[in-house]
Amino acid sequence: MSAGSAQTCFRELCDLVRARLGGLHSPELLIRSLDFARIEPLQGRGGWAATGAVPNREARALERGGAELIGLAATRCTSWQAR
């Protein structure tokens, strides 16, 4: 959800695609990084419904943008598995 998570996931996805397909290949991605400073206070107040509404809204926006698969990286992506 944060910039740090997005950077880690983007780098790992690029590495996986390059390893699998080689050359100049790279993943076709839509990325939405959120400002966690706006989400944390919701969690602190126990506002879990409001907290959950944030990634839900963003996922729908990505879907409208053409996303076929949506992944949520809330901390770090460290163990992607190539399929």
pLDDT value for 66: 93
Nearest to 8 by CA among 76, 82, 60, 66: 76
Pick the more confident residue, 39 or 2: 39
pLDDT digits (tens, 9 = 90+) for 12-62: 999 999 999 999 999 998 888 888 788 888 888 888 888 889 889 999 999
Cα angle, residue 13 at apex, residues 71 and 61 outer, rounded to 5°: 35
- The Cα–Cα gap between 53 and 56 comes to 5
SS3 content of the chain, % helix, strand, coil (to 5): 55, 0, 45
For the entire predicted model, the pTM comes to 0.65
